[in-house]
Structure 1
Amino acid sequence: MAMKRLVLVGGGHAQLAVLRALARTRPQGLETVLVTPSPWQYYSGMLPGWMAGHYREEDCRIDLRPLADAAGARLLIGAATALEADRRQLRFEQAPADGGGPADSLPYDLLSLDIGSETDTAALAGLAAGRLLAVRPLPAFFTAWPRVVDTARATAGFRLCVVGGGAAGVELALAAAQALRKHATTAQIALVCPPAGLLDGHAEGVRRRVLRQLVAAGITVHLQRAVGEADGLRLVGSPASHTLPPGGRLQAESCPQPDDRLLPADCVLAATGARPQAWLRRSGLACTAAGWVRVDAHHRSLSHAEVFAAGDVCARTDRALARSGVHAVHAGPILAANLLATLDGRPPRAYVPKPRSLYLIACGPRYAIASWGPWSAEGGWVWRWKDWIDRGFIRRHRDAAAARR
């Protein structure tokens, strides 16, 4: 049989499961290549704990090099910048390191995409240079956040704004408050949420618990749309948006006139939703209007049967899936099974998500809130539960690599 080439683009959560499956099976007649811009895969679930000082940076990342070695995969350190799906060619802006040659393209027989997403900061583009820090890409955030803390320590009345009302925005705001409080700064922190409100889609009990934590941390909450300007955020109001005072009601109340004022900010942390990398739209793959790769229940491309995708990069056509790391982790074993099944000519399996997902929301200190459908709980025990899950995720992949040595 002719050697086939499987190219794994990105080292995301789902791709980790593919590497583990390849390490277990070591299929014959297969050349595997992992293409990633960094040898480290950062785990987003531990980012708030790292910001708050509970973890070291090395606690929050997985070294892809031993995993690739265990899987028998060649590791190319470089960023993919284009894909010619009809020609089965992955392209790079420059030849990746350890590529075995100067080529700026890589042909494939089978392709797996798990490159995540970018933070959609279009509405904040008017901020002056150096004031905007997006939560993704994670490696850049890990590099930049300590500099923000140093600046806050040296600046009286430092003003930090977090934009985004989902779990990520809440965790960023609470982690930032914990970090800056630990360094005895006089920083002022605000959380700006979309008019739909705080943690839209979560139960009312969860939102009440989170609001209490935000108030206790001294964080001001604004239920308004934010537009970036040079010196801060323009809060564009509507009849149903206002600032929540400490102890105020959770949902926005009706205001007689729209608000339109500037919220000064020395730094803005953006957790403003995801957008796909631009080159996907030009790849020839079937994509949504927004640019996400369209896949079926097997996470196979609707237009190119030799292409699979999982995590933030794709959009299911049979059902709506939240862009959450939970789905990337759970879809990983199915992605791995389907790649191997394609090589063997076996039928693929469908990824069937659970009806609801568990969210464990870090609150700054070693304290967390659990959200699962209508049920919620909070306390130090929830933090310990989250810590056990997160550390276990990292340890599981480190152990998988060590087992092959």
Structure 2
Amino acid sequence: MTRLVLVGGGHAHLSVLEALAARRPQGVDVTLITPSPQLNYSGMLPGWISGHYPQAACQIDLRPLVSAAKGQLVVDSVVGMDAARRCVGLSDGRHVHYDWLSIDAGSETATSWLEALGDKLLPVKPLDQFFAQWPERLAEAQEKGTFHLLVVGGGAAGVEIALATRHALLQSGINATVELIASDTGILQGHHRRVQDRVLAHARRVGLNVHFQRAVGTEEGVLLADGRVMAADVVIAATGARAPVWLQLSQLSLDAGGYILVNQHHRSVSHPNVFAAGDVCARPDTHLSRSGVHAVRAGPVLASNLLAVLENGPLRTYTPKSRSLYLLACGPRHAIASWGAWSAEGGWVWHWKDWIDRRFVRRFAPPAPAPNTSTQERSP
């Protein structure tokens, strides 16, 4: 049997499992290794924080997808890899060997300069941990009555989470202050200035304070570049991404940030039997932003290329688009759309985002059981 191992239940691997269920080559043994049998869909995280969705609505059950692909699901975390020996190591000490490997394990939140905050620090990633801990922090805030929350990170995730948490705290009747700390380079880097201005104007309207300063964590709170220390009950880190640490000893070729270097086919430049997609990889020929958009779009190409190497077929190229549509949730059922220099906002944008997100989750949901149409005998 040819052993195909998928590391991570990320967005790109959803397409891979879908393709394997539709056309699984003979003689291939498929294994998915992931820390949780449920994928928490990041696009719906702000809506969940705001109270618009139960967690179940934001989850994709990986078990029926693996079953449909006639594969094996291993619920564990990868903590090491040896590309020369063609194996990955699990947290329980086991080693899983592969002939072909695909990695869609995502990234982690870079928090080294905030770790002095101790228990006050709540990183956004891993998402499973955030989904588990945010309700506990919200309950603490309700018990306390007053609450000071800082969100560090001026990207899309930081903006959405700051607005969502503010809405959730106010809806819970808590006397809360939420402040967003972005770097001195501004918010939403990579977005057009008009979009940045629109988001800042909305933040001012709803009373969200934004600070454009670099910050580090201390035992007392967050120390800003101007010398002020901002005390907080909780600090949510939506800061930059970092590559999984276990890649450092993998023997794969990595870029300066520790991400797997792949070519236009999303194949490792050093080990042709390894593929990668999503936040865990980097391309030397083009820029890939750390966004779920690219993982979703690269998924069908990754699936096609894995089937191609298993069946000796031609490989496809993934060409990232020069611009992407972003729909930024703003707490209430209100959102801001961004496409290059164009932007718009309103309730209709939120409903647009809601429709797209629900459709994505529904696409990978198991089919509903067929209704029982058998005729029952009736007494005369």
Give TM-score, length-normalised by structure 1.
0.89
Report how far residue 211 of structure 1 moved. Answer: 1.3
Residue of structure 2 equivalent to 1:232: 221
Residue of structure 1 equivalent to 2:40: 42
AA in 2 matched with 1:91? G
Residue of structure 1 equivalent to 2:331: 364
**1:352–1:401 distance in 2 versus 1, CA, 3 Å:** farther
Residue of structure 1 equivalent to 2:265: 298
Partner of 1:187: helix, strand, or coil? strand
Q: Aligned runs of 1:3-402 on 2, under 5 Å? A: 3-94=1-92, 104-127=94-117, 129-236=118-225, 259-399=226-366
AA in 1 matched with 2:139? D
Report how far residue 401 of structure 1 moved. Answer: 9.5
| Partner Cα separation in structure 2 for residue 399 and residue 376 of structure 1 | 35
| Partner Cα separation in structure 1 for residue 90 and residue 114 of structure 2 | 29
Q: Which moved more, 1:59-68 or 1:344-353?
A: 344-353
Report how far residue 156 of structure 1 moved. Answer: 4.1
Partner of 1:18: helix, strand, or coil? helix
Partner of 2:29: helix, strand, or coil? strand
Could you tell me whether the CA contact under 8 Å between 2:64 and 2:366 is conserved in 1?
no
AA in 1 matched with 2:103? L
| Partner Cα separation in structure 2 for residue 213 and residue 131 of structure 1 | 28
Report how far residue 154 of structure 1 moved. Answer: 2.1
Could you tell me whether the CA contact under 8 Å between 1:224 and 1:235 is conserved in 2?
yes
AA in 2 matched with 1:364? G
AA in 1 matched with 2:165? A
Could you tell me whether the CA contact under 8 Å between 1:367 and 1:382 is conserved in 2?
yes
**1:132–1:285 distance in 2 versus 1, CA, 3 Å:** same
Could you tell me whether the CA contact under 8 Å between 1:235 and 1:261 is conserved in 2?
yes
Could you tell me whether the CA contact under 8 Å between 2:25 and 2:311 is conserved in 1?
no
Could you tell me whether the CA contact under 8 Å between 1:123 and 1:227 is conserved in 2?
yes
Q: Deviations over 1:19-71 (max 9, x none)?
A: 00000002111110011111010100000000000000000010100110001
Report how far residue 117 of structure 1 moved. Answer: 0.7
AA in 1 matched with 2:193? E
Report how far residue 372 of structure 1 moved. Answer: 0.6
| Partner Cα separation in structure 1 for residue 241 and residue 87 of structure 2 | 26
Gap regions ≥5 residues in structure 1: 96-103, 237-258
**1:206–1:370 distance in 2 versus 1, CA, 3 Å:** same
Residue of structure 2 equivalent to 1:245: none
**1:107–1:310 distance in 2 versus 1, CA, 3 Å:** same
| Partner Cα separation in structure 1 for residue 91 and residue 163 of structure 2 | 38
Give TM-score, length-normalised by structure 2.
0.95
Report how far residue 89 of structure 1 moved. Answer: 1.0
Q: Which moved more, 1:135-144 or 1:197-206?
A: 197-206
Report how far residue 130 of structure 1 moved. Answer: 1.4
Q: Deviations over 1:353-384 (max 9, x none)?
A: 11101100000000000001011010111000
Q: Deviations over 1:290-321 (max 9, x none)?
A: 21000001000000000000000000111011
Moved over 3 A (4+): 399-403
Residue of structure 2 equivalent to 1:247: none
Percent identity between matched residues is 55
Aligned residues: 370
Report how far residue 215 of structure 1 moved. Answer: 1.6
| Partner Cα separation in structure 2 for residue 196 and residue 345 of structure 1 | 48
Partner of 2:113: helix, strand, or coil? helix
Report how far residue 402 of structure 1 moved. Answer: 7.7
Residue of structure 1 equivalent to 2:373: none
Gap regions ≥5 residues in structure 2: 371-380
Residue of structure 2 equivalent to 1:243: none
Partner of 1:394: helix, strand, or coil? helix
AA in 1 matched with 2:105? I
Partner of 1:106: helix, strand, or coil? strand
